[in-house]
Structures are given as C-alpha cells and as structure tokens.
Amino acid sequence: MNLRLAILLAVSALGACTTVGPDFARPPEPVDQAYLSPQELAGADAAGPQSVLGEGPQTRWWTVFHSPELDALVDRALAQNRSLAAANATLARAYAELGEVRGQSLPQVDANAKVDQQQFNLAAFGFEGANPEFTLYTLGGGVSYDLDLFGGNRRRVEAASARAEAQLRQTEAAHLALAGRVVNQALAQAAIRARIAVAEGLVAEDQRNVDLIDRRRRGGDGTMVEVLNARSQLAADLAELPPLRQQLAEANHMLAILLGEAPAAGDVPAFDLDSLALPQAIPVALPSQLVRHRPDILQAEADLHAATASVGIATAALYPDITLGASVTQGQPDGVDHLFTDMFRGYNLFAGVTAPIFHGGTLKARRQAAEAEAQAAQARYEQTVIEAFGQVADLLTALRHDADAVQGQREAVDVAARSLHLSRRSFEVGNSGVLQVLDSERIYQRALSGLVEARARQYRDVTRLFVATAGGWTGGAATTEPAR
C-alpha cells in the first residue's frame, strides 16, 4: 500500500509541475526598411559600386572579387588559423556543458558493489573464544529524480542552450571577421605594392632627369646647380622605397600569421589591385533580415535569452522542491553463490521535500539581480542592433564617396600627367628651369599615390560592407547541438 501511495503522489506531483519566471520572446523585427535617411538616399550617385537591398550577400562573399588566389588564401586561413581552432574548441565545450545540464535534469541512477572482510570481537560482548571472521558481499543500486515542480531545472537547460547558442554565434563572428581580415590584408598588400611601383617609376623618372640635365650641362646649356637639384630629388625619392618595402614585408608576415603559419614558412601570393574585380552590385540585407543572421546581433539575442531563463532559475529557488528515490541492496556473508536470493535483499523508497523558509532575503535578492541582468541584456541587444545599422549606413555612404574620390583622383592624375609632359618639353627647349619639372613631378607623384589610396579604400569599404551584412560561417566547426 505504501508503494502505491508513493507512486500516486509522484504522478500527482508530475501533473502539477509548472515553469515559473518569464518566458523568452524573440525581439521583434525592426520596422525600418532602409539604413539611410531620405535626404541621404536622394543624394545617391550612380557612379561606382551600388548597394542592392534585399537578400544579403552569399556565405563565400569574397568570391565577388574573382580572384582564385584570394579564394584559396581565405580557405587556407579558415582551415588553419589557430584562433579559429580555439573558437571551435570553445564551442564544443559549450555544447558539452549543455549536455551536462540536460543530463542532470534526468533521473540519476547509480550502482555500487562492495566486499568487506569483517571480524567480530567476542570479548567486547563478554564471550570467550576465537573471534570469528567472515566476508560480506554487497551489491546494490539506487535511483533519484528531482520532480522539478516549478521548472528550475528546465530553466537551467534553457539557459545552457542559450549560452551554447551565444557561443555558436561568437564562433560564426570569428570566422566572418577572419575572412574580412584576410581580404583586407591582401588589399593592403596590393596597395603597398602599387605605391612601391609608383615610387619606383618616380625614381626612374628622376634618373632620366639627372641624365638629361647632365647632358645639357655638358653641352653648355645647364648648370651644376641644376644637376645637384635633380640628384637631390633622386636621393630623396630613393629614400622613400625602404619604408614601403618594410610595410610590404610586414603585410606579408601578417598574412602568414592569419594563415596560421610562421612568416618564414608562409607561402603568401602577391596581389595586384588591377587583378581584383570590383563588384558593381553589392547585395545588402534589409534591416529585418540583418537582425536574423548577423552574428553579433544573434549573440546578443542569445545572451538575452539566457538572462531571461536565469530569472526563472532564481524564481524557482523560492518554491519547494520534491525529490523521489529508491534503492535496493543485496548482501551475502557466505559467498557470491546465493547473492541474489530474497532472504538477503533490502530496499528503500523515499520522497524528500525541501522548502526555503528563511535565507535573510538572499533568494529574493538573487531574483532581483537576475531581473536587472535581463534588463541590461535587453539594452545591450538594442544597442547592438543600433550600432549594426549605423555601421551599415556609414559604409553605404562610403560607397558613394569612395567612387567620387576615385573619379577625382583619376582626373588629378590626368591633369598632373599633362602638366608634367608640358614642363619637360618646356625644359628641353630651354623655356623653363629644372625646378618647374621637379615640381610637376611632385604633383604627379601625389596624384598617383592619392589614386592608389582612393582605390584601396574603395576595395576596403566594399569588403567591410560585405562583412557587416553577411551571415556567420563556421566552416568545420560543430554547428548542431549534441544528441539529447
């Protein structure tokens, strides 16, 4: 009868289980369908790459540059980078911790076995004679189960699942950021190589000027002062090359590091801005889509979910809890042959109740702290969304301004090239001095360097826009929860 009563109480308690605390509700999608104000949109220009609102960029967004070498470089980095390996391992740990919490909410079953060698002290009981010895064999097991009447364990599983989700999104963000860093570093290398080419071209022109002026001097049409001015400019331009070559070496070293390789062993390809195609249409996710696949926003959402579940954990601690259990033990002092006979069996059924009575306000304070943390997580989520929209807005306007800058620098190069050509012709026929030629060369050099920088900035901003609007990508990382 007692066993039936215990089973009846357990079934009744299971039917009465509830989950206290707030249920998480996913934040609503933003109602805005644009990142820029109507005034900014009205000033849009058709020059340069154009953003197309709708579906976001593809997962392997870097392929838009149509560079097999760049594609292979990003793939190598994603496969070999040590920071990503650490992120993947941390994600695996988060899923293992989730499995641990889930397991703790299930019935706990244990087995035990023991062999005791015992000797009775007959003298202690007033008897005489040799003390008897015997061996006691025991085998048993037990099961216990927390009924979780108010959902504390269920909220713990919910919180652990949300934390694992947050770690997944953080891992996705790490992969996305690494791809962006590799592409940006390749662009930086290409820009440095372009600046070196400009500087080397200028040195060649300087040498040409030195030779021309020296020939004129020997012919009686020039002076040694003009020759020295030309040689001084040649030396100054030669001095510009070593720092640029150092920057190139550092860029190559950084690429090797991103690949997870030592610089001495790194096999880094050489990139050229002219070999990289600039996409003319850049797909950009709508705000309502961005909040559903941008990793940092999804991570903030998962953090909010975990904080909300923690309120339920703290609330459940204010209520009673019931634990049911049973154990059975088999014992045999004569050997293992008759270990499983009924005469040596014992069992125990129990139900335990714990209820908080007085904790000095600790439990309520803990719930208040959890509620405050949930409010903070909500604010952090909203701020993450706002900052993401601001970043995309900045990059959308940058596309337009970069295109204008590139066009302006191209015109500056054309004008400076014509001016340099006329200055040289004028100097060759004796209508002007060497200083005018050198000044024209300086203007032409600045124009070429400005064009290189404007083009590199345009490529970088396109890359940053892809990173800002692309979804996460975990490559070989585990992206699914462990089996339940």
Q: What is the CATH classification number for the domain harbouring 85?
A: 1.20.1600.10
Q: How far apart are CA 140 and CA 83, in angstroms?
A: 48
Taking a C-beta distance cutoff of 8 angstroms, is the pair 171, 91 a contact? yes
pLDDT at 37: 79
Whether residue 2 lies inside any domain: the answer is no
Whether residue 17 lies inside any domain: the answer is no
pLDDT at 333: 66
Count how many domains the chain has.
1
Domain of residue 290, residue span: 23-105+150-319+363-469
pLDDT at 7: 47
pLDDT at 336: 60
Whether residue 135 lies inside any domain: the answer is no
Whether residue 479 lies inside any domain: the answer is no
Q: How far apart are CA 194 and CA 299, in angstroms?
A: 39
Strand partners of residue 112: 140
Q: pLDDT means per 10 residues in the chain (484 residues)?
A: 48 63 92 80 69 84 94 94 93 94 91 80 74 78 90 94 95 94 95 92 84 78 80 89 95 94 86 91 89 94 97 94 88 64 73 89 94 97 95 92 93 92 79 77 88 94 92 52 48
Structure token pair of residue 175: 């992969």
Whether residue 346 lies inside any domain: the answer is no
Q: How buried is 245 (Cβ within 10 angstroms: 0-12 exposed, 13-18 middle, 19+ buried)?
A: middle
Taking a C-beta distance cutoff of 8 angstroms, is the pair 440, 202 a contact? no
Taking a C-beta distance cutoff of 8 angstroms, is the pair 333, 136 a contact? yes
> Taking the mean position of all CA atoms in its chain, how far away is CA 385?
16
E strand spans, 215-320: 281-285
Pairing of strands 50-54, 281-285: parallel
pLDDT at 484: 46
List the one residue out of 184, 185, 181 whose CA is nearest residue 173.
181
Cβ-proximal residues to 356 (8 Å cutoff; 6+ apart), any chain: 317, 318, 319, 320, 363
pLDDT at 55: 79
Whether residue 266 lies inside any domain: the answer is yes
List the one residue out of 274, 251, 279 whose CA is nearest residue 63.
279
Whether residue 341 lies inside any domain: the answer is no
Whether residue 347 lies inside any domain: the answer is no
pLDDT at 338: 63
Cβ-proximal residues to 402 (8 Å cutoff; 6+ apart), any chain: 48, 454, 457, 458, 461
pLDDT at 190: 95
